[in-house]
């Protein structure tokens, strides 16, 4: 009887859903590393280290909001390694701010679609966090 209960507890802890969450988590992390490399290394190589994210540099409020939204998404990719819920909120929230700002102030969805790649690790981390949170 005790061995049956122990095996049932082990199945709950290490069942198929635990393995699939681990796989999804690592897919989100690998995609996040790839995005960090693209958005941090590529502009540095192309522009010689100047203007890390050289999209808006006119000093306006839109420039400020855009740059800090991109920074929030990049930090969200890093924070999601330790705190998936908060990291995914930064990623998805930064993208939403960019989308609203680009549509309202610039009338273009071009940058919104460019940064849509951040939604892949953002939603994957959110999925992992949602399925592994502690229920009360």
Residues 51-109: tens digit of each pLDDT: 555 555 567 777 788 888 888 999 999 999 999 999 999 999 999 998 888 888 777 77
Domain assignment present for 8: no
- Amino acid 8: pLDDT: 39
The 10s digit of each residue's pLDDT in 8-59 is: 344 344 445 678 889 999 999 999 999 998 887 776 665 555 555 555 556 7
Domain assignment present for 117: yes
Q: Say how far apart CA 82 and CA 80 lie, in whole Å.
A: 5
DSSP character at residue 82: T
Domain assignment present for 116: yes
The tally of CA atoms less than 13 A away on the side-chain side of residue 79 is 16
- Amino acid 50: pLDDT: 56
Evaluate if pTM is beyond 0.85.
no
Domain assignment present for 74: yes
Range of the domain at 99: 23-132
């Amino acid at each position: 009887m005790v061995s049956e209960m122990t095996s049932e507890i082990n199945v709950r802890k290490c069942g198929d859903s635990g393995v699939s969450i681990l796989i999804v988590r690592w897919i989100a992390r690998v995609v996040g590393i790839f995005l960090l490399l693209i958005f941090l290394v590529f502009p540095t190589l192309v522009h010689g280290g100047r203007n890390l994210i050289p999209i808006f540099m006119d000093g306006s409020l839109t420039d400020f909001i855009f740059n800090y939204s991109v920074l929030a998404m990049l930090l969200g990719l890093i924070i999601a390694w330790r705190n998936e819920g908060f990291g995914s909120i930064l990623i998805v929230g930064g993208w939403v701010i960019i989308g609203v700002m680009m549509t309202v102030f610039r009338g273009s969805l071009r940058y919104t679609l460019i940064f849509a790649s951040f939604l892949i690790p953002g939603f994957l981390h959110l999925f992992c966090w949602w399925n592994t949170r502690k229920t009360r």
